[in-house]
Structure 1
Amino acid sequence: MSFAENLKSIRKERHLSQEELAEIMGVSRQAISKWEQGSGYPEIEKLLLLSKKLNVSLDYLMLGEVESIERNKANNIIVPTGKITIKSYDGKSIVNCYKVLASHVMYKAKDDEPKYWLIGVNSGAIWGEKSIVLGWYTDEENIKKEMEEIVEAISLGEPAYELKYAIKVKNEMLRVKIDKE
């Protein structure tokens, strides 16, 4: 696919109008229209901003190449396409996610604490994005398997996904501990 086709497709996946994307980018709606028609291209600074704001790699934006989870060695793995409903680990929240992040926990985890967490992001809040912890994980392998299955569910158009690899946890004195019971 060409840049023009990719941009239009990604914009529609994000449920953005040309006007909304133009506002985000600080350009006119006509500029977005030209980019999507292939009759003009953004400056390199705007390409970088597009990549960041649409949460896709430059390769994907320009060439339509998707970086697989296995090749992504960064701490955060982002699933930038589609929406899916996921119930949180404690069953207290159901989140319609447009973005899912997998990351190391922000503190040094002890042996009896999970080392990774899965976060769902919903754009439906009035004040911007709302994120919630979906699940806790003891190892990178399980969180990667979870992410792969979420990606698969999204690609198949499934409306919901139930976490399979998250562990049970309990809160103890401001720390999250693995529930061994």
Structure 2
Amino acid sequence: MSFADNLKSIRKERHISQEELAEIMGVSRQAVSKWEQGSGYPEVEKLIVLTKELNVSLDYLMLGEKEPAQNSRNLSNHMIVPTGKITIKSYDGKSIVNCYKVLASHVMYRAKNDEPKYWLIGVNSGAFWGEKSIVLGWYADEEKIKREMDEIAQAINNGIPAYEIKYAAKVKTNLLRVKLDEEL
């Protein structure tokens, strides 16, 4: 499949309209339409944003190469868009984020056995250049990240202004990788 076919297929699979994708990407709906018709391509910087927002590899987006098996599991991206904000304290207690959007997904790399397979990301709009994403927690299994998302959604629905991450795995950083810390 071509880039155009892949983009259209992934967008529809994620239940994102062309207008929504255009808004996320900071382009017009017509630009997204041209990409999906194969009459144009996004700039390299936009391709990188696309892979991040759609949670796919660049190889998969451009060439249709198979994703790692873990990305085909049951966890689809869950997005919560509250009418207001919720303040969330991160897994390590080093960040407190006013989130207007929370996203749970598979990590962007092929996780090894000693690495978390999922991450929870909080998004705020306080940055000068627009949205800023911050990792709120790392998770070894799908059940715990789903439980975390359910509790965040419940807090938002109940009008609770703050939430502290409860189910994140203990981790340590090793060079550029995040490892599960079994000693903690």
What TM-score comes out, normalization by structure 2 length? 0.59
Mapping for residues 25-174 of structure 1, pairs under 5 Å: 49=19, 53=23, 75-81=76-82, 82-174=84-176
1:2-41 deviation per Cα after TM superposition (whole angstroms, max 9, x unaligned): xxxxxxxxxxxxxxxxxxxxxxxxxxxxxxxxxxxxxxxx
Q: 1:50 to 1:168 in 2, by over 3 A?
A: closer
SS at 2:154 equivalent: helix
Which ranges in structure 2 are unaligned for 5 or more consecutive residues?
A: 1-16, 25-73
Which of these two proteins has the greater Rg computed from alpha carbons?
1
State how far apart, in whole Å, the 2-side matches of 1:74 and 1:171 are. Answer: 24
Which ranges in structure 1 are unaligned for 5 or more consecutive residues?
A: 1-46, 55-72
Counterpart of 2:46?
none
State how far apart, in whole Å, the 1-side matches of 2:144 and 2:20 are. Answer: 32
Q: CA deviation at 1:52?
A: 6.9
Quote the RMSD (CA, aligned, Å): 2.0
State how far apart, in whole Å, the 1-side matches of 2:170 and 2:75 are. Answer: 25
State how far apart, in whole Å, the 1-side matches of 2:163 and 2:176 are. Answer: 29
Q: Could you tell me which amino acid in structure 1 is paired with residue 157 of structure 2?
A: S
Moved >4 Å (runs of 4+): 50-54
SS at 2:134 equivalent: strand
Calculate percent identity across the aligned residue pairs: 70
Aligned length: 117
SS at 2:137 equivalent: strand
SS at 1:149 equivalent: helix
What TM-score comes out, normalization by structure 1 length? 0.60
Counterpart of 1:12?
none
